[in-house]
Every structure is written in structure tokens, then in C-alpha cells.
Amino acid sequence: MTAPAGRGLEGVVASQTSLSFIDGLKGILMYRGYDIHDLAPNATFLESVFLLWNGKLPTQAELAGFEAELAAERALDPRTLDALRAVPSDTVPMAALRTGISLEGIFDPEGEDNSPEANQRKAKRLVARTPTMIGAIHRIRQGLTPLDPDPSLSLSADFVRMSNGEPGTDEAVAALDRTLLLYLDHGFNASTFACRVIAATLGDMHSAVTGGVGALKGSLHGGANAKAMETLLEIGELDNVEPWLEKAFEEKRKIMGFGHRVYKTEDPRATHLREMSKTLTEQAGLGKFYEMSRALEERMISQKGINPNVDFYCATVYYALGIPIDLYTPLFAMGRMGGWTAHIMEQHADNRLIRPRAEYVGEQNLPWVPIENR
């Protein structure tokens, strides 16, 4: 048997993809060949989803058609809403989302159909309905009635309305939309790989993305954006950054929102989120959290050589937008849903079961002992 791969499959190239390209040493990320630095300031989230799914940028007419198609698919199955009402109000929103997505798979008329055409339609329903579901989960837990989607609004604007009850400003909606674009796809990250493993058994799309939500929920992956904000709140003040960090180093604590398996330099998504965090926290009168973030970043780089990842500055962007902390990771899922579904379609289009080997390190050939003699 060949030597085992590095722990956590570090450095292993598991398969091919033409969806996103990452150069972790140079800090490059591209969706379908387009640099994230060109997409982030210029494209919308759904424009990037179209790009990822179709391999080309949409024309104006194509984008308008795509947005309208998804807008018509935003409403959840009423039975999913009924089930979400039965979820205890203190349930972690990511757990409610995982359950809701799974239920949508049961109620989807094409739930068991893995044909490319059905997969495309299901992918549209999933991207269109995730914002509605997060909004419903948030309102139900506050004892409020979930709001019906308004197809005249953009996906991001409608999410804000369905979770807050009020439409956000154009600037807030654009900022939220940009975070979704930045979260859209990222090679074989843990949740996407989980989706691909499930899809490769010829599992259906909803099963695969349910697994993806479960993988994203953990704090070493998508859960880090919420944990990063909790860290900043725990630190509390700019003057406290240095002593807090010294103690954290002593205790060998992981600083959430820092470090990355692939990037050994600036995460290109963090470049945009840092800028957004600066502007939005200043506008919201929360500039101290940006200053604290900068101080934390400087110390992490100078003392440990570890850069912030996508989740670090996203935390203060969402905080400045007034989003509840436990909705940060569901928002990551809302963006990544476009990537997960793209990977499932790519996997199904050229499938082979994903089934690695394990190096067995346990005992062997032990003598059998009858139960009465143990």
C-alpha cells in the first residue's frame, strides 16, 4: 500500500475542476478564469453564479432572465415552513438550515432525478430558496410570521426584507451581495468536498448540499466568521488586543478568522472585506472594531506569520450591517450554495466514486474470547 497522505489530506489533489482556481502562494482566486479582484467590485452575486454554472459571463438579457427565473423560485414549500415552525426557538440557525434544506429535498418533485436538466432546476431552487429559509428561521425563532418573497426585489434585497421586515439601504444590500460573491466558490474546501463525496455515490443534490451545510457549520470552516466576531467582542477594546493575544498564544488558542490550509499569503477575498469593513464600521459608528481587527492582524502577521482569512473581516462587515452573529454562517451557506451546486453538477457530469483508503494502525489477529470468559 502507498504511503498515507499528509494529515487532513494536506496538499492532496483529489480531482479536477474547472470552476475555481486558487494559487495559495501568490494569493490568487479566479472563478472560471476571472480574477476575484475584477469580479468583486464589478459583478453581482447572481452574475457570478451564472458564470460558475455556465462557464461564461451573462449578457444583460441573460442575466435579467436568470434573475427572473430564480426570483420565481424563492417561495419555500409550505410543508418546509410548517416543519421549521416546529424547531425549538433556541436551535442554532445552521442546524435549522441543514434540516430545512433536507426537507426541501423530500418535497422537491425532482428530488431523486440526477439528470443534468433536473440538477440545473434544483440548483436554481436551492440558491433562490436559501435566503428565504434563513429569513424564515430568523423570524420564526422570534415568534414572528415568515414573510413571502417579493420577486420584484433582488435576491439580496429580498433576504434583508425577509429577515428584518424592512428593506435595507442600497449600500447595505450591495455590501451583503458582495460578501455572497466572495463566499461563492473555493476549490475543494471541506464543505464542497463533502458535497462532491456524496454526489459521487450518485446521491441526489439535496442530500449532497445537506452534507455541505453540516460541514460548513463547524468552527474550523464556515463557523469561523461568527467566532471571529465573538473574539472581537471578548477583547472589547483596542488596548486589550495585545494582552488578550499574549494570553491566547500562551494558552495555544486558535484565533478564529486567521490561518488557511491553502493560502500562505493574503487571502484575496480578505483584501475586499477589509476595505468594506473599514467603510461600513465607520459609517455605523463601530470603527473601534475595525481598529481592533487591524491591530490583531498586525500582531498575528508579525508574531506568527499568519494572515486573516475570508471570515475575519467578514465578521465586522456583518456586524456593521446589524446582522445577528449566529446568522453569519448561514449567510456563508447562502453564498456557497452556488458553488456547492456547481460542484455537484460537475461531479455528476464525469462521475467516479470517491473512495480513498485508510492506513490501518490497530491490532490484528487477536484470539477470540467467548463472552463468558471476558
Binding site for ligand COA (CB under 6 A): 8, 220-221, 224, 254-261, 304, 306, 309-311
Alpha carbons 245 and 255: distance in angstroms, whole number: 9
Catalytic residue among 186, 206, 260, 348: 260
- Shortest Å distance, C-beta 234 to ligand COA: 15
What is the 3-state composition of the chain as percent helix, strand, coil, each rounded to the nearest 5? 60, 5, 35
Rounded Cα distance between 134 and 159, Å, is 8
Three-state DSSP at 314 gives helix
Nearest residue to 191 via CA among 348, 18, 309, 342: 342
CA distance 215 to 354: 17
With contact defined as beta carbons under 8 Å apart, do 135 and 146 qualify?
A: yes
Cell 465578521 locates to 315
Residue 158 C-alpha from the chain's centroid: 19
Q: Known catalytic residue: 348? A: no
Q: Which of 331, 304, 303 is nearest to 315 (CA)?
A: 331
Q: Report d(CA 368, CA 374) in Å as an integer.
A: 10
How many other CB atoms are found less than 10 A from the CB of residue 333? 25
Query: What CA–CA distance (Å, rounded) separates 306 from 304?
Result: 5
Q: Which is nearer to ligand COA, 11 or 143 (CB)?
A: 11
Cα–Cα distance measured from residue 255 to residue 243, given in angstroms and rounded to the nearest whole number: 14
Give the nearest distance from C-beta 192 to ligand COA in angstroms: 12
Minimum distance of ligand COA from residue 257's CB (angstroms): 5
Kindly state the smallest distance separating residue 141's Cβ from ligand COA, in Å. Answer: 25
Shortest reach from residue 243's CB to ligand COA, in Å: 16
Kindly state the smallest distance separating residue 108's Cβ from ligand COA, in Å.
30
Angle between helices 45-54 and 170-183 (to 10 degrees): 30
Active site residue 350: no
Residues tagged active-site: 260, 311
